[in-house]
Amino acid sequence: MVDIAVEQVRQVTSPAAITPVIPGFHPDPTICRVGFDYFLATSSFEYFPGAPIFHSRDLVTWDQIGNILTRRSQFAVGDGRPSGGIFGSTLRHHNGEFWFVTTNMSDFGGGHLLLRSKEAAGPWSDPVQIPGTLGIDPDIAWDSDGTCYLTWVGFGPGENESGIVQARLDPDAGRLLESPRKVWQGTGLAYPEGPHLYEAGGCWYLVLAEGGTERGHAVSVSRGSSPAGPFEPHPNNPILSHRSMAAPVQSVGHADLVETVDGDWAAVYLGVRPRGVVPGFHVLGRETYVAGISWDQGWPRFDEDRYQVPVVGSSFIDDFSSDSLHPRWISPGQDPASFTAETPEGLLIRQSQTGNVPILATRVLGHVWGARASVLLSGDEAVRFLLRMDDFHWYGIEASGRQIRVVAQIGPLQQVVATAEIDPAPGPFQLEIACNDSPLAGQPGINTGPDEVTLGFREHGELTTLARMDGRYLSTEVAGGFTGRVVGLAATSGSIIIERFEYNHHG
């Protein structure tokens, strides 16, 4: 596989408060440190491989080193619904091992999943399912005598099993050692969730997300002398929120803290970058940001301006000549290995035998970008190159034989937007999708979306743009859910070969 970073790191930085350290659909970050190295994992929902994991030495430049969930024995398909799958998680290092606890909402009911590995890049164990832990957002922590605590958002059925609950855990057996009990429930804002538990300076701190993961999102904290509480809340909660502020990054929350190499503290958290007219549309999903943590009278305080984030190129070219796919490649509800194969000509993608259309995709990492797929077709084969939010919200350009067409799926409605005839030539042909700033942005009285999506093809080197589409319909505000845009390919008939894929980041 040729994996060329087209854009190198430029000597430009921007404040972490407005620039994600891991851009694109990478929500619910969880972080730990081992020596001089930081490791971070995020939610992945219905996409597989699941739970991407990253490494950094400075908290602002991160490299993906793999995915935690790489085998179907770790991540059952379940219902496969959009925004199902892997929810909020916790990554920790204890007694020489990495631990990862998460929830698969597409195979829900049996309890949280606990995995372990000697190396952050894996391979990770098959999960141990923890009975009696119906809910989401599990956290794992150990006190000084080795007692392990599991804290999560309980979904009942009993009163003491609903809300923010906790129990001592035998992590080796995956068994609760006591019945769940309620701990601090937050300040009264909606949907207290995402608990994380830490020891610092002789106190135990319980950090929660509150207010829902939309514009009212916030981070609150309480403290106590024991990991089991009781906990007293910070007198000025929430300690982080952008609600009702004119900040370019909104919905900040779901934070996880880490002690840094130099003895300071930092936090990673999620946020979104809405664009366009009211209500604002975010299309990349929830992204990962970093902030410093200061301590004021024994309480953590967010310093969003502590870190400067270098502008790092995210462009790449892949010719699929390696024996394995880069960890950036994912599929909604499918295992890429089940419908792809490496060939001398490129990557073969097969049509599913079950009637669905499996998609090989990669996350969109910016607002202004272009992607080009060089495709080999013959006979009755057909390809779809698409920009996707979920099964019901996508724009695609399709090619079969001599015909190319643009198709839009918005909710239950599917429409052919444009068609063209081509003169097939030997060798691959190229399909292109690009996202650019809306040409109507800033004009008073004009209802503009976050961007304009263009779809076209190249014939004999000449670009033909077939359609220009409003980006609002591929946004979370329209589609709902918890994910962001991906760009990918599918065989809608027979098998296709992708000779080359180019992603060019422009801003």
Are 192 and 153 spatial neighbours (Cβ–Cβ below 8 Å)? yes
Query: Is 28 a known active-site residue?
Result: yes
Beta bridge partners of 291: 267
Exactly one of 46, 139, 161, 193 is catalytic; name it: 193
Contact status, residue 104 vs residue 113, Cβ threshold 8 Å: yes
DSSP-assigned states of every residue in 352-397:
PSSSS---EEEE---SSEEEEEEEE--TT-EEEEEEEEETTEEEEE
Please tell me the number of Cα atoms within 13 Å of 190 on its side-chain side.
Answer: 7
* CA–CA gap between residue 458 and residue 434 (Å, rounded): 13
> For 378-448, where are the E strands, in sequence order?
382-390, 393-400, 403-410, 413-421, 429-436
Chain position carrying tokens 């099964």: 391
3-state helix, strand, coil in the chain (%, to 5): 5, 50, 45
Strand partners, 340: 349
Provide the 8-state DSSP code for 472: G
Instruction: Quote the DSSP letter at residue 126.
Output: P
What lies within 8 Å, CB to CB, of 164 at 6+ separation is 151, 152, 153, 154, 182, 183, 184, 185, 186, 192, 193, 195, 206, 208
**DSSP label of 476:** H
Q: Is 58 an active-site residue?
A: no
Closest by Cα among 53, 88, 33, 86 to 208: 88
Rounded to whole angstroms, the Cα distance separating 149 from 322 reads 42
Q: How many CB atoms lie within 10 A of CB 423?
A: 7
Catalytic (active-site) positions: 28, 193
